[in-house]
Amino acid sequence: MENENALLWEVTFWEFFFVTVLLAGGAAYLTGRAIARAWQPNLQLFVYIVLLAAAARFIHFALFGGTLLTLHYYVVDLIVLSAIAFLGKRVTRARQMTTQYRFQYAGTGLLSWKARG
């Protein structure tokens, strides 16, 4: 499974999963949570994820022999980490709206809320 799906990862799947999804993805989720708790805009979250994706590329380079300066795999890491970060922000925001503003909003799921009638 070394380069089976070279379009998505240049190292093995397990190295991509460990570094990008577990390590950097966990950091991205927590970053999204922190941005939601501070009521900061999405642009600020995206700037942090751009930096986090660069750090993930460095870990791929330093530990697993991946290339450091490749736009394609950087964009793949950026897309994966952005999705995880915005998911973390949305989950936290939904929880905020249904707990802090309980009188005005009711939860409709993990990611959404609605105004009370």
Which stretches in the chain have pLDDT values below 70? 1-5
Residue 81 lies in a domain: yes
Residue 5: the pLDDT is 56
What's the confidence (pLDDT) of residue 87? Answer: 97
Domain of 102 in residue numbering reads as 13-115
pLDDT at 51: 97
Contact 32, 93 (CB under 8 A): no
Task: Confirm whether 3 is domain-assigned.
Answer: no
Q: Within a domain: residue 111?
A: yes
Within-domain flag for 58: yes
Domain-embedded: residue 7: no
pLDDT score, position 68: 85
Buried b (16+ CB within 10 A) or exposed e, 50-71: eebbeebbebbeeeeebeeeee
Q: Residue 35 in contact with residue 45, Cβ under 8 Å?
A: yes
Looking at the chain, the whole-number percentage of residues with pLDDT higher than 70 is 95
What predicted TM-score, i.e. pTM, was given to this entire model?
0.88
Find all residues with CB under 8 Å of 1, minimum gap 6, and list them: 12, 13, 14
pLDDT value at residue 38: 96
DSSP tally for the chain: helices H, then strands E: 4, 2
Within-domain flag for 4: no
What's the CA gap between 104 and 92, in Å, rounded? 17
Give the count of domains, the chain. Answer: 1
Q: Tokens for 39? A: 């009521």
Q: Is residue 28 part of a domain?
A: yes
Q: pLDDT tens, 73-105?
A: 999 999 999 999 999 999 999 999 898 888 888
